[in-house]
C-alpha cells in the first residue's frame, strides 16, 4: 500500500511541477513543446550507481522502477520494456516486476507487450508481473483468455525461462483452480 501512495504523490508532483498529464493531454501539447516529465523520467532510467555501493544501487533501482511505472501511467511505455531484460544487476527489473500490479497499471498494456515482444527475458518478467495483479484488476473475463494463451506458450515456446515463469504463475500466482490443475 505504501508504494501506491508514494507513486500517487510522485505522479501528483509531476503533474503539478511540470504541467504534465498522460500522453496526449498535456497542456503544452497545443504549443508543440514536449512535456518535461517524461524526458526527465526517461533520463532517470539511464542513471547508473557505483557497483561498489550496494545501498546506492538498490535505492537507484527502486527509483528507476518508480519512474518506469510513472512513465507507463503517463502513456510512455517504450523506455520501460528494456528495463525488463535480464542483466547482471537485476534490481530495477525485480522492483518493476513486483510494482506493476500494485501500481494500478492496466494489465492490457502488459498483455499487448507480452504478445509483441520477442525477447524471452522481457516476456519472463511480464509473465511474472501478472502474478502481482488482483482478481479485481484481472477479472475472470480477462483471465480465461490469458490462461489459454499462457498454456499455448507453455507448450510451444522454446525458452525454458518462459516455461518456468508460466508454471510459477499458474501454480503459485492468482490463477485460481487452473493453478491447481
Look at residue 181 and tell me whether its pLDDT is greater than 70.
no
pLDDT at 178: 41
Decide if 7 is inside a domain.
yes
- Reported as a pLDDT band with limits 50, 70 and 90, residue 143 is confident
- Reported as a pLDDT band with limits 50, 70 and 90, residue 51 is confident
E strand or H helix at 169: helix 160-172
* Domain co-membership, 4 together with 81: yes
Q: Which of 28, 53, 86 is the last residue of a domain?
A: 86
Q: Are 70 and 41 in contact (CB under 8 A)?
A: yes
Q: Give the global pTM.
A: 0.77
Structural domain of residue 9, as residue ranges? 1-86
- Pairwise CA distance, residues 103 & 46, whole Å: 22
Mean pLDDT confidence for 46-73: 94
Q: Are 162 and 124 in contact (CB under 8 A)?
A: yes
Per-residue pLDDT tens for 132-141? 999 899 888 8
Q: Are 75 and 105 in contact (CB under 8 A)?
A: no
- Using only C-alpha atoms, what is the Rg of the chain? 17
Q: Which of 86, 115, 139 is the last residue of a domain?
A: 86
Question: In the numeric block, which cell numbers belong to residue 39?
Answer: 524526458
- Pairwise CA distance, residues 81 & 41, whole Å: 14
pLDDT at 16: 41
Amino acid at each position: 500500500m505504501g508504494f501506491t501512495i508514494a507513486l500517487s504523490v510522485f505522479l501528483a508532483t509531476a503533474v503539478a511541477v511540470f504541467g504534465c498529464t498522460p500522453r496526449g493531454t498535456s497542456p503544452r501539447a497545443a504549443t508543440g513543446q514536449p512535456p518535461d516529465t517524461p524526458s526527465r523520467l526517461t533520463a532517470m532510467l539511464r542513471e547508473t550507481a557505483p557497483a561498489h555501493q550496494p545501498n546506492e544501487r538498490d535505492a537507484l533501482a527502486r527509483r528507476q522502477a518508480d519512474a518506469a511505472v510513472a512513465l507507463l501511467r503517463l502513456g510512455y511505455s517504450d523506455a520501460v520494456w528494456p528495463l525488463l531484460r535480464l542483466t547482471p544487476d537485476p534490481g530495477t527489473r525485480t522492483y518493476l516486476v513486483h510494482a506493476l500490479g500494485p501500481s494500478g497499471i492496466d494489465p492490457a498494456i502488459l498483455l499487448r507487450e507480452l504478445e509483441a515482444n520477442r525477447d524471452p527475458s522481457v516476456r519472463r518478467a511480464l509473465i511474472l508481473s501478472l502474478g502481482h495483479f488482483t482478481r479485481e484488476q484481472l477479472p475472470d473475463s480477462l483471465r480465461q483468455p490469458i490462461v489459454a494463451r499462457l498454456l499455448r506458450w507453455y507448450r510451444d515456446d522454446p525458452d525454458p525461462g518462459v516455461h518456468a515463469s508460466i508454471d510459477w504463475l499458474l501454480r503459485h500466482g492468482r490463477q485460481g483452480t487452473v493453478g491447481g490443475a
